[in-house]
Amino acid sequence: MAQDTIRFHKVTADSDLVAVAQVALFPGVYLRGWHIIKKENNIEVKLPHKIYTDPTTGEEKIWDLIKFDNEEICRRWLDRVKKEYIKWAQASHKTPIPSIEDNKSKG
């Protein structure tokens, strides 16, 4: 994991999406579009993805824009983004943000 700072951009729409993150993959290489979702008192991070409609079936499909070798590596990245978001939100907002401890068991 690159050690550069994760940058967050607050989303002001009336939805569960509260922020979008830009994450350093390597020094000088960033991936935007990590979705930070808040449902009730739980924070969830979604990988950057693209939604498209299959031209043959008309079915909506989701393609993740990043792939990991295994679930453990993916979980570490998602957890890192989540922890950094909680720190950022607590430091920059006056609204209550769940603590890291509150979100440990909720994924």
Domain assignment present for residue 19? The answer is yes
Domain housing 38:
7-96
Reading the block at residue 29, the tokens are 């290489």
Domain membership of residue 57 (yes or no) is yes
pLDDT of residue 65: 95
| Mean pLDDT across 27-50 | 94
Q: pLDDT class for 5, splitting at 50, 70, 90? A: confident
For residue 103, is it within any domain?
A: no
Q: What is the mean pLDDT of the chain?
A: 87
Domain assignment of residue 104, yes or no: no
Mean per-residue pLDDT for 16-39? 94
Domain-embedded: residue 34 = yes
- Whether 25 is in a domain gets the answer yes
Structurally, the chain folds into a number of domains equal to 1
CA 100 to CA 103: how far, in whole Å?
5
Instruction: Check if the beta carbon of residue 16 is closer than 8 Å to that of residue 96.
Output: no
Query: CATH no. for residue 81?
Result: 3.30.1120
